[in-house]
Structures are given as structure tokens and as C-alpha cells.
């Protein structure tokens, strides 16, 4: 499995709505509210070889209330 993280900058007043939409879709293993430039941080897993860009484009970007995302790929857990 490939792990990656996505940070979400939400439209004002939409962070809880976006978090609920992620939980409803059951695609994130964990979703956190955060402080700073981004409002949410979510951890995702996809099968090895799956196109992460396609996954994000098809499953995350259509969620209403998201203004911007930042995807971080991971390599090894210590």
C-alpha cells in the first residue's frame, strides 16, 4: 500500500463540511483539523501502482468547499 497525505484549504466556514464529506466517502484513514495555512490534514492509502493524481482528482477535488489542496507523497515509515 502507498501512503500519502493531503492538506486542505477550505472555503471560509466549510472545514467541518469537507471533513464530514471525507468521512462519508470512507476514503481517508484519518482526518485532522489543523492550524496554519491549511484547515485539514488527511491520510490516505492506495494500492501500490495506483495513480495517486487520478485518485485525488476523482475522489477529493469534487468535494464542495475545498479551495486548495497540497498532496505529500511518503516513502518510508520509521
Would you say residue 20 has pLDDT above 90?
yes
pLDDT at 23 over 90: yes
Question: Mean pLDDT throughout 47-53?
Answer: 95
pLDDT at 77: 86
Is residue 11 predicted with pLDDT exceeding 90?
Answer: yes
Closest CA to 5 of 49, 65, 34, 67: 34
The answer regarding whether domain 2-73 maps to CATH 3.30.70.920 reads yes
Q: Residue 19 above 90 pLDDT? A: yes
Average pLDDT over residues 50-61: 97
Sheet strands (E) in the chain: 2-10, 30-33, 40-46, 66-73
Amino acid at each position: 500500500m502507498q501512503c500519502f497525505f493531503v492538506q486542505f484549504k477550505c472555503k471560509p466556514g466549510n472545514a467541518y463540511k469537507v471533513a464530514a464529506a471525507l468521512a462519508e466517502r470512507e476514503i481517508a484513514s484519518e482526518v485532522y483539523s489543523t492550524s496554519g495555512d491549511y484547515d485539514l490534514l488527511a491520510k490516505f492509502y492506495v494500492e501500490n501502482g495506483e495513480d495517486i493524481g487520478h485518485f485525488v482528482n476523482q475522489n477529493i477535488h469534487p468535494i464542495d468547499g475545498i479551495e486548495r489542496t497540497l498532496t505529500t507523497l511518503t516513502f518510508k515509515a520509521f
